[in-house]
Structure 1
Amino acid sequence: MDETDAQLLARVAGGDGDALVGLYERHARRLLGYLLRLAGDRMTAEEILQDTLLAVWRSAGTYGQQSQVSTWLFGVARRQAWNRLRGTAPPVPAEPDDRAADPGPGPDELAIAAAGGTPVAAAVARLPDHQREVVGLVLVAGLPLAEAAEVLGVPVGTVKSRLHHARAALARALTAQGVPQ
């Protein structure tokens, strides 16, 4: 029987490296996709993912089971990205990378593919940081709104509002560029 994320994390807290590998295999793609949006390039995102795993190894014992393990992991990744990117210019989101995306595209990914990617990436790059981060968590990493809110430390209503404003801004930008919606 497969172990739950919480069981794996408890084993990580006990020093089990195989359990860390298990968590990595389950969550690395989504985390890397999110980090690509924050960092703007694959190499930096991969370095932040390594920093995240090291932080998980060191702090697994602090997991208080007040959220899902995946939410906790995204919070750790967000903090590691913040530490790494602090003081640098805001990144331009990376082009979509199939290796980092979850299989089975959803409606948002299909819309991005239909738009050709480049206009969408440019429009996303012009979003304010707080909206771009919500787009990364909800539309790229696929987190539910409640989990995104927990990662960001804001109410669910704030995530909904930011996502609504981001979608509206993206629609306006794409319309102005002549991209069909």
Structure 2
Amino acid sequence: MMDDDAALLALVARGDSGALARLYQAYAGRLFGYLLRLVGDRMVAEEILQDTMLAVWRSAGGYAGASAVSTWLFAIARRQAYYRLRGQAPPPPFEAVDRPDPAPGPEELAIAAAGGSPVAGAVGDLPDHQRDVVALVFVAGLPLAEAAAVLGIPVGTVKSRLHHARAALARTLATQEVPK
């Protein structure tokens, strides 16, 4: 899969919009889930996902293969989210790409359905650095090493943040009433 992703990215670098659409199909659900957990707003997460794919289109030639394509994509998504959260205007939309069906997929529907759950609320209350790690590892499903690469921190720090996040979630959820 990683070789296929790198090959797709090489095609994107050469201007193949079909390759970008295939990369989007492969990663949009996971990227959207991560972004939704990061920003907490479906519309903003969708906009950031589009900003991310535009950034991929523009910078695909700069991919050096030092990390997995998925790590590279999540790092771009994270950067785009922080640009948006800091109030910087995103780049103008890119219209030349044939986009796949924008209807939400199963992952997006599950994440949206959990949006009002006690767990989602507790995750939303975590500090940003813990919420980032939880979103990358549990929502996006990245391995610890890839999450560390996206965040630019050691794997041990990812493990520590996950440990503290789990403990905070357990404390928060233990104090909530269970519906009868």
Query: TM over 0.5: same fold?
Result: yes
Q: What is aligned with 2:167? A: 168
For residues 2-31 of structure 1, what are the alpha-carbon distances to aligned partners after superposition, in whole Å with 9 as ceiling and x for unaligned?
A: x70000000000000000001000000000
Compute the TM-score of the two structures, normalised by the length of structure 2: 0.82
Compute the TM-score of the two structures, normalised by the length of structure 1: 0.82
Contact 1:30 1:100 in 2 (8 A): no
Q: What is aligned with 2:72? A: 72
Q: 1:39: how far off?
A: 1.4
Distance in 2 of aligned mates of 1:19 and 1:33: 22
Aligned with 1:66: secondary structure?
coil
Q: 1:99: how far off?
A: 3.5
Q: What is aligned with 1:155? A: 154
Aligned with 2:107: secondary structure?
coil
Distance in 2 of aligned mates of 1:178 and 1:122: 14
For the aligned residue pairs, the C-alpha RMSD in angstroms reads: 2.4
Q: What is aligned with 1:55? A: 55
Any unmatched runs of 5+ in structure 1?
89-97
Q: What is aligned with 1:95? A: none
Mapping for residues 112-123 of structure 1, pairs under 5 Å: 118-123=117-122
Please list every run of at least 4 consecutive aligned residues from structure 1 whose deviation after the TM superposition is greater than 2 angstroms.
none
Distance in 2 of aligned mates of 1:153 and 1:179: 38
Distance in 1 of aligned mates of 2:142 and 2:176: 29
Identical amino acids, percent of aligned pairs? 70
Q: What is aligned with 2:44? A: 44
Q: 1:87: how far off?
A: 5.0
